[in-house]
Amino acid sequence: MQVSDTVEISGHLMDYGILSRILDDIREYGGDYTIDRFDVGHEAGDTSYAQITVSGEDDDALQRLLMRLQTHGTNLVHPGEAVLETVEQEGVFPDGFYSTTNLDTQVRVKGRWLTVSNPEMDCGLVVLGEGDDLSVRTIPMSDARTGMRIVCGASGIKVTPPAAKEGGDGFGFMESVVSSEKPQAVLVRGVADGMRAAKANGKKVLWVGGPGVVHTGAAPAMVALVNAGFVDVLFAGNALATHDIEASLYGTSLGVDLSQGRGVEHGHEHHIRALNTIRKEGSIAAAVESGVLTSGVMHAMVKAGKEFVLVGSVRDDGPLPDVYTDVIEGQRAMRAGLADVGYCLMVATMLHSVATGNILPATVPLVCVDINPATVTKLADRGSSQAQGIVTDVGLFLEQLALELVEDYRASRF
Amino acid sequence: MQVSDTVEISGHLMDYGILSRILDDIREYGGDYTIDRFDVGHEAGDTSYAQITVSGEDDDALQRLLMRLQTHGTNLVHPGEAVLETVEQEGVFPDGFYSTTNLDTQVRVKGRWLTVSNPEMDCGLVVLGEGDDLSVRTIPMSDARTGMRIVCGASGIKVTPPAAKEGGDGFGFMESVVSSEKPQAVLVRGVADGMRAAKANGKKVLWVGGPGVVHTGAAPAMVALVNAGFVDVLFAGNALATHDIEASLYGTSLGVDLSQGRGVEHGHEHHIRALNTIRKEGSIAAAVESGVLTSGVMHAMVKAGKEFVLVGSVRDDGPLPDVYTDVIEGQRAMRAGLADVGYCLMVATMLHSVATGNILPATVPLVCVDINPATVTKLADRGSSQAQGIVTDVGLFLEQLALELVEDYRASRF
Amino acid sequence: MQVSDTVEISGHLMDYGILSRILDDIREYGGDYTIDRFDVGHEAGDTSYAQITVSGEDDDALQRLLMRLQTHGTNLVHPGEAVLETVEQEGVFPDGFYSTTNLDTQVRVKGRWLTVSNPEMDCGLVVLGEGDDLSVRTIPMSDARTGMRIVCGASGIKVTPPAAKEGGDGFGFMESVVSSEKPQAVLVRGVADGMRAAKANGKKVLWVGGPGVVHTGAAPAMVALVNAGFVDVLFAGNALATHDIEASLYGTSLGVDLSQGRGVEHGHEHHIRALNTIRKEGSIAAAVESGVLTSGVMHAMVKAGKEFVLVGSVRDDGPLPDVYTDVIEGQRAMRAGLADVGYCLMVATMLHSVATGNILPATVPLVCVDINPATVTKLADRGSSQAQGIVTDVGLFLEQLALELVEDYRASRF
Amino acid sequence: MQVSDTVEISGHLMDYGILSRILDDIREYGGDYTIDRFDVGHEAGDTSYAQITVSGEDDDALQRLLMRLQTHGTNLVHPGEAVLETVEQEGVFPDGFYSTTNLDTQVRVKGRWLTVSNPEMDCGLVVLGEGDDLSVRTIPMSDARTGMRIVCGASGIKVTPPAAKEGGDGFGFMESVVSSEKPQAVLVRGVADGMRAAKANGKKVLWVGGPGVVHTGAAPAMVALVNAGFVDVLFAGNALATHDIEASLYGTSLGVDLSQGRGVEHGHEHHIRALNTIRKEGSIAAAVESGVLTSGVMHAMVKAGKEFVLVGSVRDDGPLPDVYTDVIEGQRAMRAGLADVGYCLMVATMLHSVATGNILPATVPLVCVDINPATVTKLADRGSSQAQGIVTDVGLFLEQLALELVEDYRASRF
C-alpha cells in the first residue's frame, strides 16, 4: 500500500540543479511524487521554494526515501516528533535508524527542537540526558552501546543546508571543476583568502596530506606555512610522516636527489631505517626533543606545538610510534581534532581525504587539491558536496600558496 | 675512509636493464664502483656474469649499499657469516639490521646456509633455535621482541632472483605495460592460463579486490569464478564486501540500477543499513547461515568454504564484523593467508594491492588489473618487480576471464 | 540601455538541470532575467514550461545571449521574421550572424517556416532560392561566398531539442558517466541494441576510430562487425588505417607481437614502409584489388563496399593516398558521409571524435568509448550533449560487442 | 639463408639500458646475434663498447634490422658505400629506402662522408648535386619526386647519438618521469636554465602550445615571457590562437570569468565570432595593425616580431586566416621554422607536440609539460627519446617559469 508524506525545500533550487537531484533520487528509490507547489525565484538571486508529496510502497520504503532526500536539504512540512528506539546489541543500531547527513540538523524530542552538536554523515543520532539536559549528537555505528536511545525514521528531524555562497565563490561546484583547465593562479589566491578568513575568525585550518607533499618537493613550502601559522591540525597517514622524516634523516643522499629533481624511489631501505630510528626514540616529538629529527614538516609541527593525527593503513611499514594502527580509534582521534576547524585543505591523498570528508560538517569550507581528477570526483561522490576540487600539481600549488601567504618565503625564493 | 667489498651477479643482465639499475643505485647511495669482470652472454639466451667492487665512505654506508644491491639479486663474492645482534627494545630492530628483499634468501649462521622460510620485503631476519634447530625467518619491525637475534649488515646473506621467464611470458615487464594499448583479449587468456597452471600445480589462487569489482557489474563473473574454484583466498577491505552485500540485500532497487547501467551513487544510506544488518548477524558467515545473505561474491566465498581476509581503513563506515580494524593484525592475517598461494590477481584496488605486494614473495606470479595506470605504476615503484600490469576495464576483464575459464558462465551468457 | 525579449522552453527542465544551465548562461553573458511564468510538471514524467524575459545592455549583447540560450532549446515567444544580411567578403559572415546549434531548426523567411536541412553547430544559416524554392541550410564560415544571404540575430528562428529519451535510455547524461565504475557488460548490450535499432530503421551506423582499435588487438572483432554489416561509414585519420595495414603487411613479426601481448612500439620503420607500399599502389582499394592488402579493418571495409573518410593531421607520416591532407576538404567529405546515419560510435580517438561531434545533428544517438575520461568530457564540453560516454577498455569493449552482435564470431572464439 | 653483418656502438650502454633495447629489437625483428666483443667501462663514468654480429633470414630482413638498430646509435663496423636508387613515382620511395633516425647522420657517397643537413626521423635520404657539390638531406615521403636519388639499405651510413648529458641533467630519462611525484620547483628552474643557455648560445627557443595555455590562465605569464624574449618561435593549432584572441576580444565577460576562476565553456559562440572578426581583418597581424586585437599571446608575438606557425586540424572551426589547412604544407612551414632552434618547450598539446617531435633533430633539448601523463608517454613512444617529460599543471608551471625568468613579472605579482 502506497504511503506518502510531504516535504519542502527552499533555496537556489534550479541554479544548482538541486531539484533535479531530488527527483532523480525519488525515481532511484522506486518512489513517486507530486509537486504540490513551486514558487520560482523570479529575479536573479531570488530563492525558490518547492513542496513535494513523496510516496513509497510502504512506510519503511518511504522513511528511507525521506531520509535520503534530507541529504539535499529537504524537510518534512509536518515533521512531528522524533521516534526513539533502544540499542539492544553492542555496535548495532535499531532497524530503521536515521542515517545522518553532514548538514546542520535539529531533532524534535518531547516537543523541543534540539540541535545536533557535531553533524557527520552516515552516523546515527543518539539522544542523551533527560528533561532540561536532553541533547542529541551523532554517533558512529561502532560506538552504539546497549540501552542508547537512537532516532529512527525521518520524523522530527530538520536539516539546514549551508547558506549559498555569494559571487565571491571562486570555484563553483565540484562537478564543474574536475578539470585541469582552470586559471590556476586565481585558485591559489582563493585558497589563500579562505585560510586568512578562517584565521581572522579565530578558526583553525585543517590540512589533510599525503606523501606527495614530500615527493613533489613541497615540504619547504609547507614548513613555511606551518611556521606562519596556517597549519593548525594535520591529518595524515604513516607515509607522509615517514617520507618527510626519511628526507630529514638521510638528507645528504636524498636531499641531493630532491634538489636535482630525480625521483624518490620507493622500496629502498631508507624509509625502513627512518621508521626504526623514530620507534627507538619513542615518538616523533621525542625525536625532535632529543635532536634526532631537526627539519621537515613533522619537525615544524612539533616545534610549533600543532596537533597531528596519523592513522595507519594496511600497506604501512613500521609504523611510526605516533600512528594509530586501529582505524576506528584513529577515526575517533580525527573527530576530536575537528574542534574549531574553520577551513580544510586536502592535498595529495585519496584515503585520508575521503576519511576526513566522511566526518566533516558541511559548514566547513573544504578544498581538495590533487593531480588525479579521480580523487576529487571520489570525494564528491561520497557526499562531500561542499567540496571544491582543484586538479593541479601539488608541488607547484603549495609553492604558490606559500608565496602568497608567507612574505619570508617569498623573500627567500627570489 | 673508503671501504669496499665485491659482489657478483649473473643472469640476463643487459636484456632487462638490471646492470643499469645496479649502477644507478650505487650512484644514488653516494658509492663508487669498479667492474672487475664482465662475461657477456654471446648468443641470444646466454646469461651474463658481472663482478663489481663497490665502495662507500664508511662501513655503515657500504653495508647499506650492499643490502640495497641485493634487491637486484647481487651477492657478495665472499659472503662470510651473518652478524647477529640482539633486540633491546620491543618493536625496534638493532641499528644496521638487514632489510630484506622479497627474493629467495639464504643466511649463513655458524657455518651453515639456512633458507629463509617466508621471504618478504622491508622486514628483518630473525634467527631462531639452536644447533640443529637453527632457522631464519623474516619478521616485520613491529613484531620484534626483546632478546631476538636479528641479522645485521650484508654479510652471510645470499639471494636468488626468480628464474627468468621463458617465451611464455605474455606481458613483459611492468614499465612497458603501463599502457592501455595492448591486445587485451590476449592478456585475458594469459591470466586464465596462469590460474589454470597454479591450480594444476596444487597451488592456491589469491585475489586482491576493490569495490570496483561490484561497481563495474563484475560480481556475477566473479561469483562464477569462485564457484568454479578459481578464487581460493580473497584479500579486500570493508568496501568490496559492503557494496557486494548491499547489492545483495537491496537487490530490487540497486539490482535494477546495475542492470540498467546507471551509476551507483555513494553516500546514500543503503550501505550503512547493509553494515548494520550484518553486524546484527555477527558475521558474514552467520548472515549466510541465517539466510539473510543469499547472493553475491561474499556469499559465494562462504558457501564454497574459501578464506577471506578483510582489513579496514580509516575511511570505513561500520565496519563489517569480519573486518580487522587494527591494520597490523590485519597484516598478520594476510601473511597467514599466503600459504600455498601460487598465483595472485589484483583487481581495482591500490591500497590492498600495495599491501599485498609488500608481503608477497617474488616467486609468486602477480598480475595487477586496473583502469588507472597509476595503480600499476605504484606497485612497481614499491618494489614488486615481478608484477605484470594490465591497464584495462575491470568489469569487461572479469567478464572475459569468466567466459574463458567457466563453461557454464559462457553458456549462461549467450 | 537595457533591451529585453521573452523566451520560452518546455521539457524536463528540472530533471536534467536545463533551467540551471540557462540561468548560468544569462549570468555569464552579463545579462539579467525575470521568470514570468513557470508551470511545473506535477507528476513524474510531466514536462515543465518556463517563460523568461531576458535583458542585455544593448541589442547586440541581447541577440548574442538569445542565440546562446537557443543551444539549450529555448525559443522566442514572438520569433518574428529572420533578418538577412549579405556576405561581402569570401569566407567571412556578416557581423551578428546567427551561430547555429546542432538541434532541429526552423527559420521564418517571408512569413514561412523553413526547416534547416542539415543542422550543425557553430555554422551560419544561408538562405537559398526564391519564392517557392526558398530553403535554408547550415554553412561553415569558410564556405561563405560573396552575395550569400545569411541569417543574423535570433529573430525568426525556432529550435526543437530531441525528444527526451524514455526508460530505455541505458546511460544517462554525460556528466554522470565520466566514471569507469559502471556495469560494463550492460553498456555493451546497450550499444548493440542501438546499432540493431538503427539498422532495423534502415539507417547507417557511423564509426569514428583511432589507432587504439588496432593496438588493443580489437581489429579482428571490428572486422567481424564490418562483415556483419554493423559498420557502414568509418571516419578516421591516417593512423588507424596505417597501423591496420602495417599489421596486415608485416603480419609475421607484428602478428606474433600482437598475439603474444607485447606492445606495439612506435617509431620503427614498419609503418613508414607500409605507407610507401600503399602509396605505390595508388590507394587502399587498389592495394586490395592487386592482392597486396589481404586482411584487416581497411581490407574488410573495401571488400564490403563501405565508405571511409580519412582526414589527416599535422603529425602524420606519409600519409596514405586516401587521406585528405586539407582539413577543410576533409570536413566537407565527412559532412557528405553523414547522410542517413542513424547511430554513431566513437572509439579511441579524441581528435576525430570532436571533429565528428562538431558536425553531427543532435538527433543522432552518439556513444563515445575511450579509456581516457578526458576524451569523453571534452566531447560533452564541446556541446555534443546527446553524447553518452563509456570509460572503458576499447579492446575488450569491441570484443564484447562482436560477441553480442556476430554469431560467427562467438562461435570462433570459444 | 641467414645473412649477417657486424655493428658496433659505444657509450653508456649499460647505464641507460641501451644494450638491452638493442637486443630486444633484434628479437622483435626475428633476427639473431652474437656479441663478438664487449669492453665494459670499469669505472663510473667510463664508456663501454660493443661489437655485435647480427643476422637475419635474408638480406631484406637484415637491412631493415640494421636500420632499426641505428635508431639506438649503432653503426656498421664496415659501413661501405651508400646504395642509391631512383624515385620512379611521385611521392613514393624506392623499396628498401633507408628510413631515417633523428640522430646526426653521415652518408658515404663516392668515397666521401657527407653530413645530412637536417636530421629528421621517418624520412628518406636524398642525394643532391654532383662532384664537389654532392650533398645529402632528409626528405619526407610526400616530397619524393621522380628521378631523385634515394639511399637504400643500411650501407654507407653512420649515426652519432647526442653526447651523454653530464650531471647537470636535471630530469633523467623519460620513462622515469611519467610521474607527478617530482620536486616541481626544481624542474621549473631546470627549464629556465635551459632557455637561458639556449639564448646565451645565440639559439632560438621554440614553443609548442595548446589551448590549455589560455584555459589555465597562463596567458599573462606567457605574454611576459614573449616580451622578455624567451619565445622565438611558436608552433600551435587553430585552438590556442582562437581562444587567446577570443579572451582578448570578449574581455569583459570572459575576462571576468578567467579572473574569477570559473571554467571556460566550450561550444558557445564567442570563439566563432572571434574567428569571423579576424577573418574579416585578413590576418592576425592585420588585426593587431588595425587595433582590433590589443592583447594576449598572439598580439605579443606579432608586436615582438616573432614567428608563429599555426597548423589546422579536422576539428577546427573557422579557421583563422593564418592557419595552414593543408597539414603537409603545415609540416613544411614547421620544418622551415626549426632553423637555429636550440631549445624546445611543449605545453599542453599532444597533437602538435608529437608533430614537432617527428621533425626535431635529437640534438635539440626538448621538454614536454602536460598534466596528462599519456601525452608525455606518447612522445617517448614515438621515438623522441631525448624528450624530458614533466607531468604538472601547465598554468602553475608557466606562472613559476615567468617568475623565474622575468623580473618585471615578479614585481607585478607580489
pLDDT tens per residue across span B100-110: 999 999 999 99
Looking at residue C258, its pLDDT comes to: 44
Residue A270, min C-alpha distance to chain D (Å): 18
Looking at residue A168, its pLDDT comes to: 34
Residue at A372: amino acid letter: N
Say yes or no for a CB contact (<8 Å) between D280 and C92: yes
Q: How confident is the model at residue D270 (pLDDT cuts 50, 70, 90)?
A: confident
Contacts of B212 in chain C (CB under 8 A): 180-181
- Check pLDDT > 60 for residue A88: yes
Evaluate whether C148 touches C86 at the Cβ level (below 8 Å): yes
Say yes or no for a CB contact (<8 Å) between B269 and A358: no
- Check pLDDT > 80 for residue A263: no
Residue at B42: amino acid letter: H
Q: What separation, in Å, do the N-terminal and C-terminal C-alpha atoms of chain B show?
A: 73
Q: How confident is the model at residue D384 (pLDDT cuts 50, 70, 90)?
A: low
Residue at C151: amino acid letter: V
| Spatial distance between the Cα atoms of B119 and D253, rounded to a whole number of angstroms | 64
Which among A19, A27, A40 has the least Cβ separation from residue C44? A27
Helix (H, G, I), strand (E, B), or coil: what is residue C357?
A: helix
- Check pLDDT > 50 for residue B267: no
Helix (H, G, I), strand (E, B), or coil: what is residue D305?
A: coil
Q: CB contact, 8 Å: C59 with chain A? A: no
pLDDT, average across residues C51-71 = 91
Q: Which three cell numbers stand for residue A168?
A: 565571491
Evaluate whether D137 touches D116 at the Cβ level (below 8 Å): yes
Looking at residue D259, its pLDDT comes to: 39
Say yes or no for a CB contact (<8 Å) between A395 and D184: yes
Which of residues C198 and B23 earns the better pLDDT score? C198
> What is the H or E stretch that residue B283 is in?
none
Contacts of D191 in chain A (CB under 8 A): none
B-interface mutation test, from A102, A310, A322, A327, most B Cβ less than 10 A away: A327
Q: How confident is the model at residue B171 (pLDDT cuts 50, 70, 90)?
A: very low
**Residue of C359, C363, C306 lying closest to C328 (CA atoms):** C359
- Check pLDDT > 70 for residue B263: no
Say yes or no for a CB contact (<8 Å) between B30 and A142: no
Helices C238-249, C270-281: crossing angle, 10 deg rounding: 100
Residue D360, min C-alpha distance to chain A (Å): 25
Residue D233, min C-alpha distance to chain A (Å): 24
| Spatial distance between the Cα atoms of D37 and A412, rounded to a whole number of angstroms | 54
- Beta strand C204-209 with A104-109 is unpaired
pLDDT, average across residues D207-216 = 91
Residue C269, min C-alpha distance to chain D (Å): 6
Chain A residue with minimum CA distance to B96:
A273
Say yes or no for a CB contact (<8 Å) between B34 and D41: no
Cell 547524461, residue? Answer: C173
pLDDT, average across residues D182-191 = 80
| Spatial distance between the Cα atoms of A138 and A132, rounded to a whole number of angstroms | 19
Q: CB contact, 8 Å: C17 with chain A? A: yes
Contacts of A175 in chain C (CB under 8 A): 175
Q: CB contact, 8 Å: B340 with chain D? A: no
Evaluate whether B11 touches B18 at the Cβ level (below 8 Å): yes
Q: CB contact, 8 Å: C58 with chain A? A: no
Contacts of A140 in chain B (CB under 8 A): 317
Which among A68, A141, A279 has the least Cβ separation from residue B276? A141
Say yes or no for a CB contact (<8 Å) between B71 and A267: yes
| Spatial distance between the Cα atoms of C339 and A162, rounded to a whole number of angstroms | 51
Looking at residue C289, its pLDDT comes to: 98
pLDDT, average across residues D70-76 = 91
pLDDT, average across residues C236-245 = 94
Which range is least confidently modeled, A352-366, B308-322, C344-358, D156-170?
D156-170
Q: Which three cell numbers stand for residue A26?
A: 525519488
**Residue of C125, C199, C109, B251 lying closest to C117 (CA atoms):** C125
Q: How confident is the model at residue D81 (pLDDT cuts 50, 70, 90)?
A: very high
Looking at residue C373, its pLDDT comes to: 77
Looking at residue D383, its pLDDT comes to: 54
The answer to whether the bond into B319 is cis (omega within 30° of 0) is yes
**Residue of C62, C363, C59 lying closest to C203 (CA atoms):** C363
| Spatial distance between the Cα atoms of B368 and B388, rounded to a whole number of angstroms | 6
Cα atoms found within 13 Å of the Cα of residue C329, Cβ hemisphere only = 12
Partnered with residue B37 across adjacent β-strands are B51
Evaluate whether A62 touches A39 at the Cβ level (below 8 Å): no
| Spatial distance between the Cα atoms of A201 and A232, rounded to a whole number of angstroms | 14
Say yes or no for a CB contact (<8 Å) between B14 and D14: yes
Say yes or no for a CB contact (<8 Å) between A16 and C16: no
Looking at residue D194, its pLDDT comes to: 95
Q: Is the dihedral of CA B211, B212, B217, B222 positive or negative?
A: negative
ipTM score for this prediction: 0.91
Evaluate whether D278 touches D321 at the Cβ level (below 8 Å): yes
Mean pLDDT for chain B? 87
- Check pLDDT > 80 for residue A244: yes
Q: Which three cell numbers stand for residue D393?
A: 599543471
CA-only gyration radius of chain A, Å: 24
CB–CB contacts below 8 A, B to D: 56
Looking at residue C9, its pLDDT comes to: 94
Residue at B241: amino acid letter: A
Which chains would you list as touching A if contact means 3+ CB atom pairs under 8 Å? B, C, D
- A33 φ/ψ sector (left φ>0, alpha ψ -120 to 50, else beta): beta
pLDDT, average across residues B284-305 = 97
Q: How confident is the model at residue A187 (pLDDT cuts 50, 70, 90)?
A: confident
> What is the H or E stretch that residue C329 is in?
helix C327-337
Q: CB contact, 8 Å: C375 with chain A? A: no
Which of residues D169 and A12 earns the better pLDDT score? A12
Which among A183, A190, A264 has the least Cβ separation from residue D395? A183
Q: How confident is the model at residue B138 (pLDDT cuts 50, 70, 90)?
A: very high
| Spatial distance between the Cα atoms of A160 and A364, rounded to a whole number of angstroms | 14
| Spatial distance between the Cα atoms of C19 and A177, rounded to a whole number of angstroms | 20
What's the DSSP call for residue D232?
S
- Check pLDDT > 50 for residue C264: no
Say yes or no for a CB contact (<8 Å) between B393 and C410: no
Q: In C, residues 109-148, which contact D (CB 8 Å cutoff)?
A: 121-122, 140-142
Looking at residue B24, its pLDDT comes to: 80
- C34 φ/ψ sector (left φ>0, alpha ψ -120 to 50, else beta): beta
**Residue of B345, B336, B347, B350 lying closest to B120 (CA atoms):** B336
Which of residues A333 and D350 earns the better pLDDT score? A333
Contacts of B177 in chain C (CB under 8 A): 263
- Check pLDDT > 50 for residue B317: yes
Q: Which three cell numbers stand for residue A134?
A: 536532553
> SS3 sequence, chain A?
CCEEEEEEEEECCCCCCHHHHHHHHHHHCCCEEEEEEEECCCECCCCEEEEEEEEECCHHHHHHHHHHHHCCCCEECCCCCCEEEECCECCECCCCECCCCCCEEEEEECCEEEEECCCCCCCEEEEECCHHHCEEEEECHHHCCCCCEEEECCCCEEEECCCCCCCCCCCCCHHHHCCCCCCHHHHHHHHHHHHHHHHHCCCEEEEEECCHHHHCCCHHHHHHHHHCCCCCEEEECHHHHHHHHHHHHCHHHHHHHHHHCCCCCCCCCHHHHHHHHHHHHCCHHHHHHCCCCCCCHHHHHHHCCCEEEEECCCCCCCCCCCCECEHHHHHHHHHHHCCCEEEEEEECCHHHHHHHHHHCCCCCCEEEEECCHHHHHHHHHCCCCCEEEEECCHHHHHHHHHHHHCHHHHHHHC
Q: Quickly count: other Cβ atoms within 10 Å of residue A78's Cβ.
A: 10
CA distances C390 to A225, C174, C365, C369, Å, are 42, 9, 14, 5
Q: CB contact, 8 Å: D190 with chain A? A: yes
pLDDT digits (tens, 9 = 90+) for A150-180: 999 999 999 998 875 533 333 333 333 434 4
- Check pLDDT > 70 for residue A256: no
Close Cβ partners of A286 (under 8 Å, ≥ 6 residues apart): none
| Spatial distance between the Cα atoms of C332 and C110, rounded to a whole number of angstroms | 30
pLDDT digits (tens, 9 = 90+) for A14-66: 766 788 788 888 887 888 999 888 888 777 778 889 999 999 999 988 998 99
Say yes or no for a CB contact (<8 Å) between A396 and D393: yes
